[in-house]
Structure formats: C-alpha cells, structure tokens
Structure 1
Amino acid sequence: MTASLTQIITVEEFLKLPYIEESPAWEYVDGVAIQKPMPKTRHSFLQKRLLTEVDSNSKAYTALPELRCTFAGRSVVPDIAVIAWNRIQVNEVGEPEDNFIAAPDWSIEILSPDQKANRVIDNLLHCLKHGCRLGWMLDPDDYSVLIFAPHQEPNVCRGICQLQVLEGVHLELTAEQVFAWLKIDKR
C-alpha cells in the first residue's frame, strides 16, 4: 500500500521534508506527498536488468535507478530514468549536480502489486507533456509493456512485439524477452 500525506503543500515545501529520500521514495503530485510502494523481487530483477541493458547499449544515454526528477510543479521518482549524458549538469569539480530539474528522456516504471496503474500512467503522461520522449510501464503480472510516446496513441506490447526505444539506444527487445529475465534456472 502507498502512503500519502493529504495536507496540500507546495513543491518547495515538499522538497524540504526530511523523509522524502527514505526508501521507498516519496513523490509530489498535485500538492500531495505520496510514498511509492516498496519494490518486490520481480520488480528488482527487471529494474536491474533494464539498467544494465540500456547502459551497455548506448553511449549517448545513461540509465539511473530511482532518480528524483523535479519539474513543472511535480517531483517524480521513475524506477529508471534514462537521460542523455549531455543533459546532466555538472558542478565546478566535474561531478553531477544532485538535483535533476527536468523530465528524463525516457521514463521506465515497473508496476508493483500494490501500485495504482493510473497514478503511474499520470506520472508518465506528465513526463511526456514536459519533454520526455518515451515512457514505459511494465506490468509483470500481465507480461505486458505499455508504451507512451509524444503525439502517439499508447501501445500495449506482449509476446514478440518489438519494444520502442530511444534513437541512440541500440537495443532490440520484445516483451517476451524482457519478462523471460524473471525465469531463474536453479541448476
């Protein structure tokens, strides 16, 4: 179950709350702080593998787990935020700035059993409205990937359906291949 604080606050007030970086992460949507559900094992397996696959198949982008992205009056924490290297701000010593204040290029969410799909879709649509170029919502119970792209109808991919990725990410995946990562051979 996700926790939420129903007191209406500003995004600036939200970002000053002492507990928002606790695990699981807190997000800020429509004036309310909402805690994401704790990831389960299948979620973690998919997240780990997707991070590895995106990173190993692109020089232009990096895949980051649970990165807070604060922009356009909302603060979201996608399971995976894929960001072009040239969009990552660095400080005077060449290290990345701690606060990412834009939409990721590609937002990937993995639906947890206790998570509301519409809340996740709302965050993905918000990202797309503000510059994100691709959104995925993986549903491990349905073995499907719901894909969002600007100015296109959402597309549900199952089985051998090829999954859309960002240009510059040299990765060919089907929904079937992604969910096959959940099969564990214990030999």
Structure 2
Amino acid sequence: MLAPDQNQNRVTGNILHYLNFGCPSGWLIDPESRSLLIYLPHQQPLFFEAVQEVLPIPDQMADFHLTVGELFGWLQL
C-alpha cells in the first residue's frame, strides 16, 4: 500500500524487482484515490478503481473472488 510519505516510483521499482525474481504479481494500492495497479510478469500494469471490478487472483486461489470494493472495505479506508 502506498503510504503518504512514499515515493510511487520507488515502490513501483520494488514491485518490478520482485516480479523479476518470480513473484506472480505486485499490487500498488493507492488509498487516497481508492484505486490500484496490478503488475503481472511481462504485461502492462492493470488499473482498477470501479468497486464492482473483480481483481485477478493467483491460480492457487482459483475459488477466491475479490472486488475493488471488498478490498477497500477490508482496509477500512
């Protein structure tokens, strides 16, 4: 999650580093705009902000479904 005092480029750089070493995805959550960018290997980032949008979940959790609205509801923002 992007904290108010964090630099978005630095956080994005960390996500890209993790992807290069095999992490299946990286989520950059912006609580101020209630939106998120999901980074997947070898793809453009995916942007989500509509509360009903279903977020991509790793294959190991195929039965789990999460929307943008549910995510921000859990975070109580």
Question: TM-score if structure 2 supplies the norm length?
Answer: 0.87
Task: Tell me the alpha carbon deviations over residues 117-162 of structure 1, each in whole angstroms, 9 at most, x when there is no partner.
Answer: 1111000001111111111111111101110001111011112221
Q: Which has the higher helix share?
A: 2
Quick check: which has more Rg, 1 or 2? Answer: 1
Specify the alignment match of 1:175 in structure 2: 68
**Structure 2, unaligned stretches of length 5 or more?**
none
Correspondences of 1:24-43 after superposition (within 5 Å): none
Aligned CA RMSD, in angstroms, stands at: 1.2
Deviation of 1:179 (Å)? 1.0
Correspondences of 1:110-121 after superposition (within 5 Å): 110-121=1-12
Aligned with 2:56 (options 164, 167, 174): 164
Specify the alignment match of 2:31 in structure 1: 140
Q: Which structure exhibits the higher relative contact order, with contacts defined as CA atoms closer than 8 Å and separated by 6 or more residues?
A: 2
Q: What CA distance in whole angstroms lies between the structure 1 residues aligned with 2:6 and 2:68?
A: 21
Specify the alignment match of 1:102 in structure 2: none
Equivalent AA in structure 2 for residue 175 of structure 1: V
Question: TM-score if structure 1 supplies the norm length?
Answer: 0.38
Secondary structure in 1 matching 2:64: coil
Deviation of 1:177 (Å)? 1.4
Deviation of 1:114 (Å)? 0.7
Q: Do residues 153 (structure 1) and 44 (structure 2) align?
A: yes
Q: Which has the higher strand share?
A: 1
Q: What CA distance in whole angstroms lies between the structure 2 residues aligned with 1:119 and 1:179?
A: 23
**Structure 1, unaligned stretches of length 5 or more?**
1-109
State percent identity of aligned pairs.
Answer: 39
Q: What CA distance in whole angstroms lies between the structure 2 residues aligned with 1:111 and 1:176?
A: 17
